[in-house]
Amino acid sequence: MKLIDVHAHIQQHAPEELEGIHSRAEEAGVGAIITAGVTVDDSVRCVELADRHPMLFAGVGVHPTDLSGPLTDDDLTGLDEMASRDAVVVMSEVGIDHQPHVLARPTESGRPWVDVQDEAFRQQIEIAKRQLLPVVFHVREPGDDLDAASAWPVALRIIAETSAGANGGAAHYFQGDIATAGAVLDAGFMVSFARPLLRLKRLQVVAAWLPMERIVLETDSYPQPFKKDRMKWTEPRHLLSVAECLSEVRGISIEEVAERTSENALNMLGAHGDQVRTLLD
């Protein structure tokens, strides 16, 4: 079975880049890519792209760091309408981000960013529940020190209070510890690993501990002009290296990793998984 990249941002690349990105992904054994929006307009681009490219599927949502203030009625209506489209298989990218520079920005309404993010996350979870979409969510702590964590408790509280786990989903770009991973599982979600798995030994410990049926893979691919060598930009083709690392950590073959993580992704997508499955055999 081919690999599934459950979270990327392909729509942010220049149109002329897309053919190469797709062909390199296929050569690396990637059969399907879910490209996620970070604003309403960006989500529109995701849907349009997924409508044109068979291996692409869309996520719609507003990222917590891309909020310009509380979501408007027009924002919510637009997201709700897009979430009903056939090409849309997840609600993403949504979540909570407590990085200091994010929370320090002034808001026009005067409301604290923690409150704005909280409300937006809840509202988008409600859209996901109404449209029967899994939620692939973002959590970013104030810093690298796990002892200083504050975003995860907030995110998990919102998830519990909204019953977000009813439709499942995944904690995207996971970099937490075993206790946090366990809380994600208890909430009804998968854990999604990306390229940090290759370099973080503590993350490999989490990957070895998790039940295999609760792991999915991603690349979080987006344009990276800060890397001068274009071929060093992260792309869906790099999903293969994440899968290879997981195979070493788990002591299983790359073929088993591909089969089991892809099956996990299809299970996560529920009824929306049927249209993805046709691309994998």
| Segment 61-78, tens digit of pLDDT | 999 999 999 999 999 999
For 52, the token pair is 């044109």
pLDDT tens track for 78-112? 999 999 999 999 999 999 999 988 998 887 777 89
CATH architecture type of domain 3-277 = Alpha-Beta Barrel (3.20)
Could you give the 3-state DSSP secondary structure of residue 70?
coil
pLDDT tens track for 38-47? 999 999 999 9
H-type alpha helices, the chain: 18-27, 40-52, 73-83, 100-103, 113-131, 151-162, 178-186, 196-199, 201-209, 239-250, 254-269, 273-277
Single pTM value for the model: 0.95
The domain spans of the chain are 3-277
For 123, the token pair is 């509202």
